[in-house]
């Protein structure tokens, strides 16, 4: 097995964890290939770009946290090959284990005693008159929110061609089940099991309290657009990155991406166990 390795070079402890992972994988007889910035961190000169790494490796180990996982997924081009997250610190929602469990992780890879959790991805297209559409991919969410102004903004959302609502809010989130534990949760959205075939539309700080989150099936096409031309540009973000301005008459179309992400899960680890840990719920 050829394991592609990506690390967050700015994470304290990343270099030590990276060297340890390399040693353990080598002892287990697994070949390693490194993303360029990751290779530089440990003094290697054979690092690869994200897309080249995605083609070369059989699976991937990402060292950092949930944010590192999101960035790695984007750089790897939304690969469908298995991706394992090794959290430097406490266990995250997207990661498979912590850096204290690297030996157990390598043993699971060698023995094949792991499973994968299939995660829906979002495909978002920004459409502007007179320009080529711009396409983006997200694991957690896409957000259309107010820009530099501190005021509420007016925007519309439609579902599969039918108007859902005119919102007066700080913005709106369209999230996958995976993203239900991220920004959408902070904005009051529901928790959703990763295997549910749905999206959640969550307004951010709406002016009217009756404007609540809505769950729709993941075959729906969701369209977002500004309503008021006098309010200035809004900001569109994808998993907290790729921030671009959205102006009057722009449209954002959001739908299920054709590919999925396969997250590695070690035995005894689950979404529900992560919920209990991260949210301090009762349970063993």
Q: Specify the CATH number for the domain of residue 236.
A: 2.60.200.30
Residues 131 and 56 in one domain: no
What DSSP character marks residue 271? H
H/E stretch holding 70 reads helix 66-75
Q: How far apart (Å, rounded) are the C-alpha atoms in residues 122 and 180?
A: 13
What per-residue confidence (pLDDT) applies to 257? Answer: 96
What per-residue confidence (pLDDT) applies to 149? Answer: 73
Residue 251 in any domain: the answer is yes
CB-CB contact of 74 with 241 (8 Å): yes
Residues of the chain with pLDDT below 50 are none
Q: How far apart (Å, rounded) are the C-alpha atoms in residues 109 and 26?
A: 12
Residues 94 and 203 in one domain: no
Residue 283 in any domain: the answer is no
SS3 180: helix
Q: Specify the CATH number for the domain of residue 7.
A: 3.40.50.10330
Q: Residue 211's domain spans which residues?
A: 122-258
Q: Which residues are known to be catalytic?
A: 66
Q: Is 115 within any annotated ligand binding site?
A: no
Residues 57 and 154 in one domain: no
Residues 100 and 133 in one domain: no
CB-CB contact of 274 with 91 (8 Å): yes
Q: Is 44 within any annotated ligand binding site?
A: no
Residues 92 and 128 in one domain: no
- With tokens 């993941």, the residue in question is 218
Residues 149 and 245 in one domain: yes
Residue 223 in any domain: the answer is yes
Residues 94 and 169 in one domain: no
**How many domains does the chain contain in total?**
2
Q: How far apart (Å, rounded) are the C-alpha atoms in residues 159 and 7?
A: 38
Angle at 234 (CA atoms; ends 253, 132), nearest 5 degrees? 45
What per-residue confidence (pLDDT) applies to 283? Answer: 61
Q: Is 182 within any annotated ligand binding site?
A: yes
Q: Is 186 within any annotated ligand binding site?
A: yes
Q: Is 280 within any annotated ligand binding site?
A: no
Range list of H helices, 76-138: 102-111
Residue 284 in any domain: the answer is no
């Amino acid at each position: 097995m050829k394991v592609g390795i990506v690390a967050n070079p700015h994470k304290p402890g990343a270099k030590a964890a990276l060297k340890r992972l390399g040693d353990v994988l080598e002892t287990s007889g697994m070949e390693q290939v490194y993303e360029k910035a990751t290779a530089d961190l440990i003094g290697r000169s054979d690092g690869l770009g994200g897309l080249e790494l995605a083609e070369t490796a059989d699976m991937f180990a990402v060292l950092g946290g949930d944010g590192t996982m999101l960035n790695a997924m984007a750089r790897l081009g939304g690969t469908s090959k298995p991706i394992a997250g090794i959290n430097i610190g406490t266990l995250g929602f997207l990661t498979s284990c912590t850096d204290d469990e690297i030996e157990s992780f390598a043993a699971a890879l060698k023995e094949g005693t792991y499973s994968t959790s299939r995660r829906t991805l979002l495909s978002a297209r920004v459409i502007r008159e007179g320009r080529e559409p711009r396409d983006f991919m997200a694991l957690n969410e896409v957000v259309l929110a107010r820009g530099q102004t501190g005021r509420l903004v007016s925007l519309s959302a439609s579902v599969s061609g039918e108007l859902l609502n005119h919102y007066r809010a700080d913005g709106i989130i369209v999230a996958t089940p995976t993203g239900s534990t991220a920004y959408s949760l902070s904005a009051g959205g529901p928790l959703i099991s990763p295997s549910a075939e749905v999206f959640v539309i969550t307004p951010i700080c709406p002016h009217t309290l009756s404007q609540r989150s809505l769950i729709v099936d993941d075959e729906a096409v969701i369209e977002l657009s500004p309503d008021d031309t006098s309010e200035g540009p809004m900001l569109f973000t994808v998993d907290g990155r790729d921030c671009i301005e959205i102006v009057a008459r722009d449209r954002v179309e959001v739908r299920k991406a054709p590919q999925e992400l396969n997250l590695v899960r070690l035995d005894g680890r689950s979404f529900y166990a992560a919920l209990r840990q991260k949210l301090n719920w009762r349970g063993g």
